[in-house]
Amino acid sequence: MSIIQKNRVDHVVYCTYNLSSGIEYIAQVTGVRPEIGGRHLTKGTHNAILKIGKKAYLEILAPDPKNEDIIGPRWMGIDLLTSPKITRWAVNSIAIGAESKILRSFRPQYGKLESGSRLLNGDQMLTWQLTDPLSLPEIDIIPFLIDWKGSPHPADRMQQKCSLIDINLKYPDPEQSNKLFTRLGLGIQAKDDPYPEIQISLDTPLGVVKI
């Protein structure tokens, strides 16, 4: 993966059935315990995060058992999980309006823009705009876009002990997806494989690990 690509990775979403067990797993394989993030009240999930770059993180995402107002399917393919895994990834965008149009031209359901905000540490407001990470399929190698709108990045407040080395994408007949990656300037190409997969390599205190 090129330096340009690594710098575009904003976060990678590891979905699991239970947040506590997801945190324990990531802590066990990396030697670093993810920090509790927050709740996504309109999405039915909650998360924890692990810093993997200057402005990049691994998100551990799980259904929020306290949120009984959400009728699925919830986002990120989390209601379709067959096992804990990475189901989505996000790239930062400083031209989200133009790049969202590229996504929509690839597939109409991509590229819908949404906005959100959350109070961070009791005194700072975290704000963002993103393209909708769809509820299906379980794994989607097409990234969603995010712009933090000048607010602090979630990784800013964290100490970095792990570093993203690489991200690998697999997909059946990925030619069209790879053309999209080129149009977005991502510097990455998916490999042809019968089964979709998103895998990352991390440099951690316990050595190089793949998730």
**Cα 86 vs. chain centroid, distance in angstroms?**
8
Residue 26 · residue 15 · CB < 8 Å: no
End-to-end Cα spacing for the chain? 16
Helix, strand, coil share (%) of the chain residues, nearest 5: 20, 40, 40
Radius of gyration of the chain (CA): 16
Report domain extents, the chain: 3-210
Quick one: pLDDT at residue 120?
66
Quick one: pLDDT at residue 2?
63
Enclosing H/E stretch for 85: strand 85-92
pTM (two decimals): 0.95
pLDDT digits (tens, 9 = 90+) for 3-25: 667 789 999 999 999 999 999 99
pLDDT digits (tens, 9 = 90+) for 47-106: 999 999 999 999 999 999 999 888 778 999 999 999 999 999 999 999 999 999 999 999
The one-letter code for the residue type at 204 is T
Domain 3-210, classified CATH 3.10.180.10, yes or no: yes
